[in-house]
Amino acid sequence: MTRSTYREAIRLALATALEADSRVLLMGEDVGRYGGAYAVSKGLLERFGPERIRDTPLSESGFLGAGIGAALGGLRPIVEIMTVNFSLLALDQVVNNAATLRHMSGGQLGVPLVVRMATGGGRQLAAQHSHSLEGWYAHVPGIKVLAPATVQDAHDMLLAALADADPVFIFEHQLLYPTEGDLDPARGPATIGQALVRREGSDVSLVTYGGSLGKALAASDELAQAGISAEVLELRTLRPLDVEAIEATVTKTHRLVIIDEGWKTGSFSAEIAALVAERVFYELDAPIARVCSAEVPIPYAKHLEDAALPQVPAIVVAAKELLGRG
């Protein structure tokens, strides 16, 4: 067990994969000589060379399409997209090619592609670099959607994605890259589709993923000081979704707060709320609460950005209101 940052954990997983399998390559904007927009791939070009660490033109549709072609041709490409907002330029490649080719070929073609991208706000990068759109991708059958929130998962989920025969999209929250945590490099790939209870509780469930996990845990601490026992369930994977884990925590606490950095309208939080209403409605002792981003483009100014994003006080207030303690 060692201490590592989130970015170092991803870099280690990348290096491990590149070392172990000659089919693996990394491609994207600035992944080579610059070392990655978030310094994740720093040093990999010098170690593995330009054939396997490939800087690409500024054309998301072009280089994601090239990644799909490489996967079809027998390679195991990892495509890095600088930010989730830019990935929209490649959405045609995702929805009409990566996600559909196995289905449209009757199982004859597979696309073993891994796509990594930064998501989320909080770094004052303004409205074209700060949104949380992973819920949009989770809408699409044919791909898997991962959102690692811990150092260990940043490492293990990348290894799991590389072992998958179909496209896997990994959303790395921008605020997590410098965070530190314990890392056991020998633990092996994570289990895709498995949520984890990060804190046991009995009064209310806080369900979240990605960059909001730390806020949910901080809210749980604050609620404990008020005598409220809050369970924190981290989804980890948005598609496939661990529905049974969501059902179990709601059945246990009978109250649910969903924290989702996406906008509330049409959000992934709405999908979770609908599932709970459909499957365990009679376990609820209070309405479902959602803490989401404000319905605005994420602002640049720090005080406005903070106000637009889900924060610990809003989570605490939502939980207290479900218990009649607001």
List the end-to-end C-alpha distance of the chain, in Å, as a whole number: 42
Catalytic annotation, pick one of 80, 129, 172, 271: 129
Cα–Cα distance list, 272 to 10, 278, 281 (Å): 28, 10, 12
Count of Cβ atoms closer than 10 Å to residue 89 Cβ: 15
2-183 and 196-322 in the same fold? yes
Q: What is residue 122's three-state secondary structure?
A: coil
* Averaged pLDDT, groups of 10, the chain, 326 residues long: 96 98 98 97 98 97 98 98 97 98 97 98 95 97 98 98 97 98 94 98 98 98 98 98 98 98 97 98 98 98 97 98 90
pLDDT given at position 249: 98
Beta strands in the chain (DSSP E): 2-5, 24-28, 53-55, 76-81, 114-119, 144-146, 168-173, 180-183, 196-199, 204-208, 230-234, 237-239, 256-263, 289-293
Is residue 131 annotated as a catalytic residue, yes or no?
no
The candidate with the shortest Cα–Cα distance to 54, out of 38, 72, 77, 75, is 77
Please tell me the total number of residues recorded for the chain in this structure: 326
Catalytic annotation, pick one of 8, 60, 271, 305: 60
pLDDT given at position 23: 98
Rounded-to-integer distance, Cα 95 and Cα 230, Å: 38
Instruction: Give the distance from CA 101 to its chain's centroid.
Output: 24
Residue 16, amino acid: T
Q: Where are the domains of the chain?
A: 2-183, 196-322
Pick the CATH number of 2-183 from 3.40.190.80, 3.30.930.10, 3.40.50.970, 3.40.50.720: 3.40.50.970
Using an 8 Å Cβ cutoff, are 267 and 134 in contact? no
- Quick one: CATH architecture of 196-322? 3-Layer(aba) Sandwich (3.40)
Is residue 129 annotated as a catalytic residue, yes or no?
yes
Using an 8 Å Cβ cutoff, are 269 and 290 in contact? yes
pLDDT given at position 128: 94
